[in-house]
Amino acid sequence: LKEALSLTNLGVNQQFISFTHVTMESDKYICVRETAPSNSVVIIDMAMPMQPLRRPITADSALMNPESKILALKALIQGTTQDHLQIFNIEAKAKIKSYQMPEQVVYWKWISNKVLGLVTLTSVYHWSIEGEGEPVKMFERTANLNGNQIINYRSDPSGKWLVLIGIAPGAPERPQLVKGNMQLFSVDQQKSQALESHAAAFASVKVPGNDTPSLVIAFATKTITGGQLISRLHIIELGAQPGRVPFTKKQADLFFPPDFADDFPVAMQISAKFGLVYVVTKLGLLFVYDLESATAVYRNRISPDPIFLAADAPSVGGFYAVNRRGQVLLATVNEQTIVPFVSGQLNNLELAINLARRGNLPGAENLVVQRFQELFSQMKYKEAADLAAESPQGILRTPETVAKFQSVPVQPGQTSPLLQYFGTLLTKGKLNAFESLELSRLVVNQNKKNLLENWLNEDKLECSEELGDLVKPVDGDMALKVYIKCRATPKVIASFAERGEFDKILVYSKQVGYNPDYLWLMQTMLRSNPQGALNFALMMAQMEGGSPLDYNTITDLFLQRNMIREATSFLLDVLKPNLPEHAMLQTKVLEINLVTFPNVADAILANGMFTHYDRPRIAQLCEKAGLYIRAIQHYTDLSDIKRVIINTHAIEPQSLVEFFGTLSKEWALDCMKELLLVNMRGNLQIVVQVAKEFAEQLGMDNCVKLFEQFKSFEGLFFFLGAYMSTSEDPEIHFKYVEAAAKTGQIKEVERITRESSVYEPERMKNFLMEAKLPDARPLINVCDRFNFVPDLTHYLYTNNMLRYIEGYVQKVNPSNSALVVGQLLDDECAEDFIKNLILSVRSLIPVEPLVEEVEKRNRLRLLTQFLEHLVSEGSQDVHVHNALGKIIIDTNNNPEHFLTTNPFYDSRVVGKYCEKRDPTLAVVAYKRGLCDEELIAVTAKNSLFKLQARYVVERMEPELWAIVLTPENEYRRQLIDQVVSTALPESKNPDQVSVTVKAFMTADLPHELIELLEKIVLQNSAFSGNPNLQNLLILTAIKADKTRVMDYVNRLDNFDGPAVGEIAVGSELYEEAFAIFKKFNLNVPAVNVLLDNINSIPRAVEFANRVEEPEVWSQVGKAQLREDLLSDAIASFIRAGDGSQFHEVIRASERVDAYADLVEYLLMVRKTVKDPKVDQELVYAYAKIDKLDAIEEFIALPNVANLQSVGDRLFDEELYEAARIIFQHISNWGRLASTLVKLQQFQAAVDAARKANSARVWKEVCFACVDAEEFRLAQICGLNIIVQVDDMEEVSDYYQNRGRFDEVMSLMESGLGLERAHMGIFTELGSLYARYRPEKLMEHLKLFSTRINIPKLIRVCDEQQHWKELTFLYITYDEFDNASTTIMSHSPEAWEHAQFKDVVVKVANLEIYYRAILFYLQEHPDLINDLLTVLAPRVDHTRVVDLMRKSGNLPLVKPYLVTVQSVNVAAVNEALNNLYIEEEDYDRLRESIDMHDNFDQISLAQRIEKHELLEFRRIAAFIYKMCGRWRQSLALSKSDKLYKDAMETASQSGDRELAEELLNYFLEEDKKECFASCLYTCYDLLRPDVVVELAWLNNMQDYVMPYLIQFVREYSTKVDELMKDKEAAKKEVEKKAKEEKEVIAQANMYQTLMPLALPAPPMPGGGMDGGAFGGAPPMPAYGMPPMY
């Protein structure tokens, strides 16, 4: 039994270690479901328990699959009785399946790797994780399981039998004994059986006489029958079938000790490995029974804590159990002692034998042998065979047993006992090598080969080389299988060779790591199967570690037999990596193919797979073979390349072009020159192609110079033509055009000049003019594109190419006609030609530039006919009409008519043209085109202000007015005079007047505006009664001349009174404003002027009395209120009946503290206004004037006041009596309690707090009672507070801050008994005890350790230095490191030996172990060995020894050292050895050295080799012998006359010289008997001649005679065996010589390619006949040993 792991050590909280939270479906995973501090699932892999996987998952249950990382989750759907089931693959992070169960699942379990069992309140379902199926109902629960808690559900491996187990409360006479119920269900029969059982499990039992195991069920019960307690284990067979030997039902009693009378089984596991039944009870008892016989084997308690979960551990034949402490215990049988225990302690020999046989356990060897002898002597051969077949550890599976069965004579008509034995072995399992050989010999003799085949296929026989030799004469294939299985490699290779399966030899040799004679295999295959030899060679080349034969050797083997293609194929394959070390082979393959198959060599070279061959040599061969392109590719000398490259007739052009790409620039240019020199016309195309392909590398300039050097403009043309589409070099384009021109490619010249945009226009133009091409289109393209039109026109005109001028103007670019006309005029061309040219394009010619060009040359009249023609055609082009207008103005042909009637000319252009000729015509033109700026400028310049004024007024444009009225205008005054005197009086358009007035206003000209308006409004004009003008006049006066305002108010009647009055107020003309409002009967604005602006309340009161309007009185009241004339204001508001100002009145009352008048006003307001504010202020006013009875009367009547806010206000202003009335009326008990506290009415305050039941109120009353020393009432309040965790500490601190320690502890003690008592109360009381009553602290901790906040109390106890209590808390909280540290730091108070031992073994920090050891060494040395015994499995023994040695206390811990020496640690061994030396205990020292060899042996030997005691010196010699220091050991033994030890040392050394020295020593010392003994002991080391010589010299022939007899017998035997081997070898050689055929080498044309000498194939007989090497043995190639 051992603890596999602890769940608490892995971070699992103790509260979650229970049946509902922990699941363990197999020995692979444990799953823990946590719900605090957050919902999570912890998955513990038993293979890596210290790395738990924690996932945030919310579920009611979680199950890990027994085999794989698949998690099943179950969660209840809120508000229903349905469960949601989900299955996840954790590794793949994917959901496998999910399902919503219509019923609640009360229990579930994995019954196999693929199926979940689901148990509901009524039924049981199976749900497979494969496919998409839903859970399948298996059966309904029987009545005996109603009300039971289901604790297990299992299935047999076939899934045909199911068992469901539950527990329920016990019988009335003994309710504490839990009752167990079981339902057994047969899937095939669809029937259930109800039984009483607490635990059950399925198992298989092999019944003698049956071929297959029988299925049984084991179940444990504990019931009360007739008042008697009966506990039994039952084992019964399920599904018994006719014709089979039935399993006899077994049962056995389960004995429970008296202390465990109410204990019951909770789990059952059956070990298939040992055939044992484990029954585990709740309180930790373990019962072990034999499955076949139900015999009790063992019983013990394995856990002091209750066990609630168990799982099978099949790998060790035991089980895992989980207890409430969180321990995961692994229990299994001790394989070394179980059988001796059963046979010795239980005295059950039969059971011991069966256990040993089933579990292959040691300890029953003598019993099994004895039993076998008994059965054999009783002639029970079948039983003896069964026993031998199943004998533990195969102790009877020996040749002796086979011989024993062979010795039994066969009775007639009966099966041979030997065959019975072999038949039993075949039934039970697999035969060993000797048994397989003997059985096969029998079968072969009987010619039953098929039996052997079946047994081999079923793996019933253990293969061996002897078995293969036995089978080979009968079946070669079967023998090969046997050889392969037993790894008889030479035999396998020989078999493959005999069968011709050479390819399999490589595969097999690689698999087994064998190295055959590959040269012999290769030569053999070449003679019989050339293609197979090629394949074999390729396979050898692909072997890991490289080919066993050199590639060159393999190639020569092919070439010896003229196999050129095979050699080529092999080399091409093996030389694919293209390694430098294969250069010679690369050259060879190319040479042989260039001589024989040049096309193959060309293909190889084209493939480019070789780069390391001899390139000059290959180049020469390529040139001879006519492969010129390959030759120049390989030549490295320029002269060679030039010599070969001129053979262009035999070189594919594209390849030649590509070759140039590999040359340097200089070499390539030289080769190109060579080609042109040899045959320029024939090679020009190639040179051009090369130049095209590699122009970038060669340089464009170099290529151009090359062609120019040979004056090959044709080549230059074709070369440059390839780059015209991509090149942007102007020089390239120019050269190309030049070459094209010189080669007559006029169309290409025209195309380039038309399309190219990179050539230099000026240079191109000059070249074309100088070239004087018959076709002028290229020049036209250049000049047209780059604006050389005048030059073009001049060139064409001077060269009399007028046709091209007309063509250019009419067809190419009519838009440039103006430039052509201008140049023709400059060239003094005839006007008729120009006119005809212009008329020929008519509307296509742009008029504006044409007019500009002609006008610039003062020849505008030239265009009269052209322009009139355009106008007659209906042209509306502005430029046409502009030019025509200019001509009319110049000719003075009624220009006014043209300017006023023509709608198409541009007014600005024509007006500008007229300014210097006639300004009035310019004004006409500008006015027509609304050219404001130009018109203003020309009229101002020529003093035409009247025209300017009329134009500005008529335009009605604010922007224009802003321009002319700007102060920067030096002519503004003249314009204004003309506007006032002439333009505006003439106008009858009101809009013109309005725009003009606005313009004056915008220009900020008030005086001018007043002058203008008085003339319009006051002088009986058409606009005198205009309201807008009257408003404007008054407003302007307000702004510019306030003295005129009152006069205008009195004289005018049509202005806007309200608006003008407001403006007057804004301009601080208050009297004028009052007059305006009064004139228009606007009384409220008028009184506002008196109140707000004139600030005369008496005038306002007088005015209000006169008009008697409520609105006026209301305004007066507001003003009086602002001046804090509260009584007058309230009177005014009452006269006005205005209750809307109650907010201001209330605020004013608060300022002046006049609440009596406020009551009168608010009572008036309540008649018309229902506002909470009014009622609230009324109550407050009553309270301020101390009318409490009025308050009670008011609140009793209907009202809309917010009494809560009123009460709060009264409370805040300390009007507590009034507040009490309010709070009591509205039942606000919390505020009432606060009020009563202020009134010192504490009992009433407590009653009110009880009704409020609020933590805040309770605290307030409680604190007040504490301050008033009303502790009884304070405790009543405190008990209602401390049940709230958040408020408890505040109460405690309040008491403590005031020194009321006893009272607060009394409060907390009273709180412990509360129903709502929580952890905080217990913790706080503990803190108080720690501070003020430490004598009560430990008792409190022990009573309530599970209900306190341990970390908090740990801090308190640490602060208060209560070390014993602190230690107790650390232990309880599983902080064993801190507990140990505290105990050691404060040992006088905290140390207890037993407690410390329990604690220190649980710490996580290993350093604490060593601190504990030092602590005990200092304070409790008498107990240190007890401590070390406990720590032994956990400490570093070397470190412990160092500690003890430094402190000088090693002898003190000797018992500990003896205990831990079994781990064989060097420090421990050396320490003990030193102690034994000091104690002169040589027996113990020798035992220590024999059993524990981990120490400094030489040092120890040197230390004791001079010890005064002989035994210690003998031990030193023994140590030297162990270390291989034979001479030192021998010297010590001889010095101490320990001759036997000396002889054994010499024999074990294996040193002949040492043995002979010892022999001489014995002769020198005359130790004849020792001499004879030494001959026997060192027999293998001594040389016979030396021995005989020594004996003869020393006259000791008699002593040496036994040695001589033995020696002669041994060597005569060896000679006989060698003779037999020699005869056999001779016969084998003669046999091979007959089969071998001599290979005659054929001379052929490839002898020059062959190596000077090839290794000859091995010849039979061991060598060649004759010659210099005739007598030498054959030497295999590459130093490999010959294979026989």
- pLDDT score at 69: 92
**Residue spans of alpha helices (H) in 772-860:** 777-785, 789-798, 802-807, 817-826, 831-841, 847-856
Rounded to an integer, what distance in angstroms lies between the CA atom of residue 1404 and that of residue 722? 85
Question: Would you state the structure tokens that stand for residue 157, as one six-digit string?
Answer: 């491996």
Rounded to an integer, what distance in angstroms lies between the CA atom of residue 1120 and that of residue 479? 134
- The residue length of the chain stands at 1684
- pLDDT score at 1667: 34
- pLDDT score at 601: 83
157, 113 contact by CB (below 8 A): no
> Quick one: which of 692, 710, 704 has its CA closest to 733?
704
- pLDDT score at 1505: 86
- pLDDT score at 978: 78
Instruction: Name the strands in the sheet holding 53-55, side by side, starting at the edge strand that comes first in the sequence.
Output: 22-23, 29-34, 40-45, 53-55
142, 178 contact by CB (below 8 A): no
- pLDDT score at 853: 81
**Residue spans of alpha helices (H) in 694-776:** 695-698, 700-709, 713-721, 730-742, 746-755, 761-771
DSSP three-state, residue 1469: helix
Give 657-698 as a DSSP string. Answer: HHHHTTS-HHHHHHHHHHHHHHHHHHHHHHHHHHHHHTHHHH
Residues β-bridged to residue 325: none
Q: Give the contacts of 136 (CB within 8 A, at least 6 positions apart).
A: 125, 126, 127
- pLDDT score at 1670: 34
Q: What is the mean pLDDT of each run of 10 residues along the chain (1684 residues)?
A: 89 90 94 89 92 90 94 90 92 91 93 95 94 92 93 94 93 82 94 94 90 92 84 92 89 88 92 94 94 92 92 93 93 89 84 84 77 78 78 78 78 74 77 80 80 82 84 81 81 73 73 74 75 78 77 81 83 85 85 84 84 85 82 83 80 82 84 82 81 81 82 80 79 82 82 84 84 83 85 83 82 83 80 79 80 78 78 81 80 82 83 81 82 82 80 81 83 79 72 75 74 68 67 70 75 76 76 77 79 79 80 79 76 76 77 77 78 79 80 80 82 83 82 84 86 85 87 86 84 88 86 83 89 88 86 90 90 88 89 88 87 89 88 87 88 88 87 88 87 86 86 87 87 87 88 87 86 87 86 84 85 86 84 62 35 36 34 32 30
> Quick one: which of 755, 799, 809 has its CA closest to 775?
799
Phi, psi of 224 (to 5 degrees): -110, 120
Question: Would you state the structure tokens that stand for residue 255, as one six-digit string?
Answer: 């004995």
Assign residue 711 a region (left: φ > 0; alpha: ψ between -120 and 50; beta: otherwise): left
Q: Give the contacts of 106 (CB within 8 A, at least 6 positions apart).
A: 119, 120, 121, 150
- pLDDT score at 145: 93
Rounded to an integer, what distance in angstroms lies between the CA atom of residue 1672 and that of residue 199? 86
- pLDDT score at 1019: 66
- pLDDT score at 328: 94
Determine which helix (DSSP H) or strand (DSSP E) holds 1012, and give its type and residue range.
helix 1006-1013
- pLDDT score at 1108: 81
- pLDDT score at 1640: 32
- Give the Å distances, CA to CA, from 1561 to 1521, 1530, 1574, 1682: 19, 11, 11, 47
